[in-house]
Each structure stands twice: as C-alpha cells, then as structure tokens.
Structure 1
Amino acid sequence: MTTSIADLRKSYERAELNEDASHAAPLQQFDQWLKEAISAEVPEPNAMTLATVGSDMRPSTRIVLIKGYDERGIVWFTNYESRKGRQLAGNPYAAIQFHWVELERVVRIEGVVEKVSDEESDEYFHSRPLDSRIGAWASPQSQVISGRSVLVANAAKYGAQFMLKPPRPPHWGGYRLKPDQWEFWQGRKSRLHDRLRYRLDGTDWVRERLAP
C-alpha cells in the first residue's frame, strides 16, 4: 500500500516556548538550545542550512557546520571561491537555519556576513585533520571536474608537496554572520506552534511572538 506524501503528518508535543521561560538575549537562547541538542545526541546538531543569493537573484542553499559562535556572530569555514563564496562577495546578506528534528525545534538567523580574520582562519585550519587540510587544496569547490580521479590526483599531488604541514590555502577561510534577526520555533500540538522572534533595534534586542 502506497502512502501519499500529503498524508504524512506528525503531532508536535515535546515542549513549549514562552516568553517567561525564554532568555531576553537571543544568543543565550541559542546557546541553551544548541547545548540541549548536543546533550540529546541528535544527529549532527552542528549542521546548519546556509542560504545565499547570487547576482541573478536566485537563492541557493547548502549544509555547512557551525564552528563557533559568540556575541559577534555565527562562524563557519569554506572555500572562498565556491558558489557560496562568490555569492557572498556580491551580496553579503545571508540566512542560516538549524533543524533539530528530534527536539521539534528550528532556529533561523539572518544578517550580514563578513570574513573572519586571517588569524582565526589559520588557527582553525591547523586544528583540522591532515586529510581535511589536504582536501582544502585538492578540491576546486563548485567547479566542474571530469571525474573523481581529479580529486584523488590533486590530493596525492598536494600531499606529496606539503607532507605533514600544508599551509592554509589563500582561497580558504572563515565567515561570520552578524545577526540582526533570530527566530526560535518550537513545534506544538494542532499546528499552533511557538515562534519567538528577536530583531535588532539599534543596540537592543526586541522579542516578539509570531503567529505560526
């Protein structure tokens, strides 16, 4: 018997999100939820969807991994010459989304993106496993290649060239999204979900409830 996609549905009843129990600052709320996702051992709690828009006004998304966060913003690392890197060079505004399915929670973050310092990029790059550091040299990310053999050959080439000490490629480093808007979504019964938005007003965060 085939199940129709339109008939797939779930009742969300795990938790609630209200103003009294939430933090006044969005970073504190995010810190709490991320730690709870890690403690709950949800699959890849650090995975986030990154959305950017190119010069053709077409949005695109991909999964990246958060590598740091503080009052300055959300940090990840990638190839600056990739599709997302080229799009961010032309339009620095982006959106991020975390979806922790098992906890019935979503976090959405919007803001402007900037590159992190060379020192931050160097520090993180040299903390990566050797294969990952070689991979940053081996992959011309987002470019068309003739086959996987290109990657294998490049990895062998740069592995022989750099041995155990590959430097950080000049085209590779970190980005930081500086949030001006956060939204925390908690699934609730009867599709009456909880949505709290924090928007930046000057230097202050304004917390508002949105209808689901």
Structure 2
Amino acid sequence: MAEAARSEPNDPNAVCLATSTPDGRPSARMVLLKGVDARGFVFYTNLESRKGGELAANPHAAMCFHWKTLARSVRVEGRVERVSEAEADAYYASRARGSRIGAWASRQSRPLEGRFALEKAVAEQTLRFGLGEIPRPPFWSGFRLLPARIELWRDMPFRLHERRVFHRLDDAAGWEVEQLYP
C-alpha cells in the first residue's frame, strides 16, 4: 500500500469489492479502502445500499487491488464484519463537511429521479445541520474484510508472472504460503 501511495497517480486505495446477491450472483464495484491493519481491510458505506444489503445477507467478500504503475495486484478473500461504532464515528468525523452532508442526503443505490432531487436533498440537509455538528447517520458505517486468503501477483516477462498465495483456515490459524503457476 505504501509503495502504491508513492507511485499511483490517482486513488491508490481504490479497490474492486465483490459481494454476492441473495441468489448467489456476483456483484462488484469500486470502493476506497480507508484502513488496513493486522485484523483486515476497512471500507465505509451506506448500510442501506446494494453492497450493504448484500453483505448483510452474505457476510463474505473479495477485494482486488490493481496498481498498473507497479505492475502488481493483490486479491483478498474472507468474511466481513461491521466496524465498531467508535471506529465508524471517528472516521465519519474525519470526513469533509460536504461528504458528511452527502451521507445524509444520498439514498445510495436507490433510483434517482434526476440530479435536481439529489441537489435538493443536499440543500435540505445543509439547512438542517446549519453550522452545527453533523452526527453519523444510523444507516452509515463500515465493514472490515477479515482475510482468509491473500494473493500477491507481480507482472514478469513473457507472462511468467509471480503469484504467491497466503491462506489460513480461520482467524486464529497461522498463514500457509504457496506459489502458483501463472
């Protein structure tokens, strides 16, 4: 991540997040990773969004980072859990004021009758909160993907790429490492 932050011109924390619909079809979209630690990979969303509903129905997901300038990618698979209320509050408070207003105004993933409706909702929420604090909406929080499998891919000459997989059976187990054919 640090290497990508130094070399990627735009959003080195952009990641494709894959979930599944209730009937098992894949569903993918780009999100911005907002934290990574020994426990996992953190992103935030409207819990009433399509991804929020899919994660509530099936708490497993996959992520794929692709850093073209580095000629590398990272795939992560595992179960997800909600971040703590304190984590969600802290991250929400760090966001720009306009982004906090937007969290209240957006009915994420639901049909929008036109751009004016969104702009009207933003104006209403701006008026509602005035210059005061903007609390985190009850429908807005974060998820942490707890990795069970991580694959590191590196571009190599003649398509003889390097692939290394780290996997474990559960959160308490140690990591096993193996290389894969390209």
Give the TM interval when normalised to the shorter protein.
Answer: over 0.9
User: Which of residues 38, 42, 62 in structure 2 aligns to 1:95?
Assistant: 62
| 1:127-159 deviation per Cα after TM superposition (whole angstroms, max 9, x unaligned) | 100000000011000001210111101001011
Deviation at 1:71, TM superposition (A): 1.0
Mapping of residues 28-43 of structure 1, within 5 Å: 34-43=1-10
Write out aligned runs for 1:14-163 (5 A): 34-163=1-130
Name 1:191's counterpart in structure 2.
159
Equivalenced residue count is 179
Out of 162, 177, 182, the residue aligned to residue 207 of structure 1 is 177
Aligned to 1:174, what secondary structure does the other structure show?
strand
AA partner of residue 166 (structure 2): Y
Shift of 1:39: 1.6
Q: Partner letter of residue 74 of structure 2? A: V
Contact 1:51-1:96 within 8 A present in 2 as well: yes
> Which secondary structure does the structure 1 equivalent of 2:69 belong to?
helix
Cα shift at 1:72: 0.9
In structure 2, runs of 5+ residues without a counterpart are none
Question: 2:38 corresponds to which letter in structure 1?
Answer: E
Say whether residues 1:180 and 2:148 are aligned partners: yes
Q: Evaluate the alpha carbon distance shift between residue 42 and residue 195 of structure 1 in structure 2; reply closer, same or farther with a 3 A threshold.
A: farther
Write the deviation string for residues 38-59 of structure 1: whole angstroms up to 9, x where unpaired.
Answer: 1224421110000000112111
Normalised TM-score (structure 1): 0.82
How big is each residue's C-alpha offset from its partner over 1:33-84, in whole Å with a ceiling of 9 and x where there is no partner?
x111112244211100000001121111111111111111100111000000
Q: Which residue of structure 2 aligns with residue 20 of structure 1?
A: none
Q: 1:66-122 CA distances to partner (integer Å, 9 max, x unpaired)?
A: 111111110011100000000000000100010000111000000000110111101
Report the structure number with the largest CA radius of gyration: 1
1:42–1:100: 8 Å Cα contact kept in structure 2? no
SS class of match (1:50): strand
Question: Matched residue of 2:144: which SS?
Answer: strand
**Alignment-mate amino acid for residue 176 of structure 2:** V
More displaced 10-residue stretch of structure 1: 190-199 or 200-209: 200-209
Equivalent pair of 2:8/2:67 in contact (CA under 8 Å)? no
Q: Which amino acid aligns with 2:119?
A: V
Using structure 2 for the length normalisation, give the TM-score. 0.96
Query: Where do 4+ consecutive residues of structure 1 move more than 6 Å?
Result: none
Q: Which residue of 2 aligns with 1:18?
A: none
Higher relative contact order (CA 8 A, sep 6+): 1
Kindly indicate whether the alpha-carbon contact (under 8 Å) linking 2:79 and 2:145 is maintained by their aligned counterparts in 1. yes
Name 1:167's counterpart in structure 2: 135
